Chain A
C-alpha cells in the first residue's frame, strides 16, 4: 500500500524571522525525498514541525490524507513518524535489545523482563537488516555507525510510516555510509516514506529520488533527482554555484619562506610525518577518516604528546608540549569538533574571541575591558560575523558564524601558522564561500595555513599544495596544478591498493 505525507502551506515564525513560509509539497512511499538548503533555510524546522517538537503557526500536514497535529514527539512516534538525528539518542550501557524496545520491553508472567523474548524479537530485526552484532551487545561497544543503525531499527520496530534523517552521515566514514544507504534503500522498499536532510550533494544523488529545495524558509522548487544535477541544485540553493566560488577566489600568489617544518614526527596514528609549510601558503591535508591528519595536527599544536620527531618554527627547533607553547610560538589550531572543542557556548562572542590572547589584554593585573571590546569588534568586522552584538552568547549563532568567531579568536593571536581542521564542517554553502575567501586573505597576509579537510572539492579548490595521508603516513604530495580527485584518492587509499608496505 502506498502512503504519502503532504505538507500544505506550513508556516512557522520565530521572533524576528519567518522560518517556514507556506511550504507545500508531498513525499511518497517508495521514494527518498531530500530536503536541501543552506543553514537556516528551514529544513530542520520543518522536520520539527512534522514530529510535534514545534507547533506550526499556519498550514497543516496530512499523512495518507488525514490531517495530523502532533503536540509532542511522543505522539508523532506513536502515529508512525520518527526522526533520526545526527546526535545519537541511545543509552550506551544498555543492550541493543533494550535500546530498541526501550518503552515496550516485554514482561513475563512473573512481572520480570522476558529477556528471551526480547532478545529473540530484536535478533529478528537485526537479521532482517543483515547487521553483524547481537541483540545482547552493549550499545557503547558499537561503532558510531552501528549505533545509528540501532536507532533506525528502533524507529523501524515501531512500524513507522515516515522516517526522517537529519544529517545522518555527519560522523560516519565512507564504508559506514554505504551500509547506511543500503538500510535506507531497504526501508524505502518496505514502503516507508523517507525524508532525508543533508548538506552533502554526493549523497543526494546516490540515494534520493526527489529533491525539495528550501531557501530562507521558502520552497524554491521540487525536482526529480534524476532530472537535475549538483550545479543546478546548488545554484537554486544559494543563487550561485560551487565551481564559480573556487574560480572567483582571490588567491595569494606570493609564497614566502618556510614557517613550519615537521621532521619525522611519530605519535599515536602518526608515523614518520615530515613536511614543510611556507608563509602565505595554503597546504591541504587530504585522506580518509582515520588517516592520521587530525592526530598530526594535534601533536604539532601540543594537544597530544609525540614519541619522537621535531618541530621547527621559522627554522628554529621548538619544544611544544602544551597548546600554550604552540600559541606562544605562533601556531593556532581551529579544532575539528566546533561544539565540543571550539566554542564556549554560553560565553559571549567577545569572550570567545579574547580567550586565547587574554594575556596581552592584561594591564596592571586586570583585563583591559576597552581593549578587549575593541579586539572583539575588530574581529567581528574583519570576519563579517553576523551577530546582533558582541555580548551575544556564541551558542546562539549559526554554525558558520561560530566558525568565523573562532577564526577571529585565532587571528587575534597573530599566528604565523594557522591550522584549520575541517573548517567548513556542518556549514552552509554561503558561509563556506566566505570562509574560503577568508583563508585566501589570510594567506596574503603571509600566514602559513594548513587545511585538513575530507571534502575533496574544497581541498582541490583552495589549496596550493596537497599532502595526502593514509594510515598515519604521508603517501604523497601534489601541487595544485597536478592534483585531481583521482590522484588524491589513489594516494589516500594507498594501503588498500597494495602499494604500501607495513
Chain B
C-alpha cells in the first residue's frame, strides 16, 4: 500500500526489448542467474580437481546420460510442482513399467506395441492418481504415496521378484545405441524437454498451469478447468515415468523390480533446485534443467574423484540446502 506508483500510460518503456546488451541485462536480473553461476562454479572446480578431464565432450555426454532418465520425470514433476502438486509414484511406476516391458517383449509382443501398452498403462496410473486427488480430495502427497507403494508391490508381483532379462536387440539399442554420437536416451530426453519447455512457456495449456498454481480458485472463476488440467498433468507425469522405466530397462537389458527407487525424489530435488516453488505458481522448465545438470554434474564430479557413492546422496542434500539458502538470502536482500 505504500508505493506511490507512476502511471505508465506510455508503453514506450515496455517496448524497448531486444539487443544483446538487453539480453545480458535480463539474464542477470533473471531468477536463474544464481543457478547458472553455480553450474559454472561446479565446472571450474571439478575441471581443476580432475586435471581438465571434467569438461570434455565424453564426460558431458556421461552427465547427460545419467540425467536423461530422471530428466524425463523432471519434466512431469516440474509441471506438477508449478500447479502446487507433486507425484511420488514415478519411481515405482518406472520399475513396474520396466518389468512389464521386459515381460511383454519376452512374450513376443513387437517392440512398438509393447511400448504403446506400457505408456498406456502409465497414462492409466496417472489417471488414477488424478482421480484420487480430484474426486476423493486426497492430498497429492498422500494419494501418490499410496500409488507409489501399490506399483512397487505390483512390480515385484508380476515378475515374482526376479529380474526379467531382455534379448530384443532393437530394445537394447534404445538404451545403448547412439545416433551421430549422441546416446538415444539423451536424444529422447532433450527432444521431449524442448517440446515441453516450449509448451509450458508459449501455450494456453502452459499458462494455465501457472494460473492454477498461482490461485486455483481464481483460475476456476476465470474459466480454467483446474481438475481437468491436473488430470492431464498426472497422466503426463506417469507416462513419462513409464517411458523412463523402459529406457532404464533397455540400459540394464532387464526389467528389475528394485530399480528406480527414489527416482521421484531425485526429480523433485532437481526441480526445486531449479527454482520451482513447492507452493506453486512460479518456476520454469529451463530452471529445472539447470537444477538437474547441477545435481548430476556434481555427482559425476564426485565420482571422477573416486569419492564413495554414499557421499553422493549426502551431497545431494547439502546441495539442496545450499541452493535454497542462497534463494532465501537473495529474497531477503530484495525485501
Contact = CB atoms under 8 A, between A and B. Distances in A.
Contacts of A303: 220-221
Given A341-B217, A355-B222, A386 B211 contact: no
A381 B3 contact: no
User: What secondary structure prevails in chain A residues at the interface with B?
Assistant: mixed
B221 A341 contact: yes
Interface residues of A, number: 55
B3 A14 contact: yes
B210 A351 contact: yes
A114 interface: no
A40 B5 CA distance: 10
Contacts of A347: 210-211, 214, 281
B202 A366 contact: yes
B178 interface: no
Interface in A317-347: 322-324, 326-328, 333, 335, 340-347
Contacts of B211: 344, 347, 351, 355
A328 B281 CA distance: 26
Contacts of B160: none
B154 interface: no
Contact of B5 (A326, A351, A365, A386): A386
B46 to A, nearest CB: 35
Interface stretch (A186-194, A395-403, A474-482): A395-403
Given A45-B2, A386-B6, A387-B8, A343 B225 contact: no
Nearest to A358: B204
A323 B1 contact: no
Interface string B280-295: 0110000000000000
A367 B207 contact: yes
Contacts of B3: 14, 16-17, 40, 396, 398
Interface in B1-52: 1-9, 11, 13-14
Contacts of A19: 2
Contact of A344 (B4, B8, B204, B281): B281
Interface residues of B, number: 32
B218 interface: yes
B215 A17 contact: no
A397 B5 contact: yes
Contacts of B5: 386-388, 397-398, 401
B208 interface: yes
A371 interface: no
Interface string B132-143: 000000000000
Nearest to A378: B11
A288 interface: no
Contact of A388 (B8, B202, B207): B8
Contacts of A327: 222-223
A477 B124 CA distance: 54
Contacts of B174: none
A358 B225 CA distance: 13
Nearest to A394: B214
B331 interface: no
Contacts of B217: 340-341
A489 B211 CA distance: 40
Given A14-B3, A386-B5, A356 B222 contact: yes
A55 to B, nearest CB: 14
A409 B211 CA distance: 14
A253 interface: no
A409 B224 CA distance: 14
A356 B13 CA distance: 26
Contacts of A391: 14
A425 interface: no
Nearest to A324: B223
A343 B2 CA distance: 19
Contacts of A366: 202-203
B176 interface: no
Greatest chain B CB density within 10 A among A40, A342, A344, A359 is at: A344
Contacts of A16: 3-4
A39 B3 CA distance: 10
B319 interface: no
A334 B229 CA distance: 23
Nearest to A387: B5
A389 B15 CA distance: 11
A209 interface: no
A301 interface: yes
B219 interface: yes
A343 B218 contact: yes
Contacts of A380: 8-9
A343 B215 contact: yes
A236 interface: no
Contacts of A328: 223
B8 A323 contact: no
A78 interface: no
A58 B14 CA distance: 36
Contact of A358 (B7, B208, B282): B208
A323 B220 contact: yes
A355 B4 CA distance: 26
A39 B2 CA distance: 8
A344 B221 contact: no
A448 B314 CA distance: 63
B14 A345 contact: no
A44 interface: yes
A117 interface: no
A40 B203 contact: no
Nearest to A344: B214
A500 to B, nearest CB: 32
A11 to B, nearest CB: 13
Interface in A348-370: 351, 355-356, 358-359, 361-362, 365-367
A323 to B, nearest CB: 5
A422 interface: no
Interface of B: 1-9, 11, 13-14, 202-204, 207-208, 210-211, 214-215, 217-225, 281-282
The 6 lowest CB-CB distance pairs between A and B, nearest first, are A344-B214, A324-B223, A327-B223, A17-B4, A356-B222, A19-B2
Given A347-B214, A366-B203, A391-B14, 12 more contacts: A301-B221, A326-B223, A341-B217, A343-B218, A344-B281, A346-B281, A347-B211, A358-B204, A359-B204, A380-B9, A386-B7, A389-B14
10 contacts: A324-B224, A335-B221, A347-B211, A351-B210, A355-B219, A358-B207, A366-B203, A381-B9, A387-B5, A398-B3
